[in-house]
Copies of this chain bind each other. A is one copy, B any other.
């Protein structure tokens, strides 16, 4: 509890570095909450990156190379992701009849269930934010953020943060 914070609340709203911390912190809070709730609802091994990868698969990136392109990562990394998803039973692969090189990926029922649960929880959390801010305010915030994001592909090579409680070694 006494972990002193790198950013100790209510800062004077001015420094660019703090703005970055605010953005990162908000993201983390949102995502951590979703991951925790997902674990509680029977998906203890779901990681943020899985969600995004499965979205891309659902949207048509049904093989390693395409998934890599879609996620702006290498096909090798994409293949690893697919392997992880397969291990956990969220997707299956099979040989493509059209192209003997391809291994075609698609979601299992379990995978679809994860996506439904994930989307629902995301929306719940967003609804809580909306309640705190007011509907118009949140929409405005999203619009403003969208301006900064522009049309740049969002790279989510953000890795390991599962928000496990940090118990310092022994």
Contacts and interface: CB of A to CB of B under 8 A. Distances in A.
Interface of A: 2-11, 13, 15-31, 34, 51-52, 55-56, 68-76, 118-119, 121-127, 129, 132-133, 137, 139, 141-161, 163, 166, 168-169
Contact of A5 (B16, B34, B154): B154
- Tell me the dominant secondary structure on chain A's binding face: helix
A1 B114 CA distance: 32
B74 A6 contact: no
A64 B93 CA distance: 46
Given A23-B23, A24-B158, A55 B144 contact: no
A151 B5 contact: yes
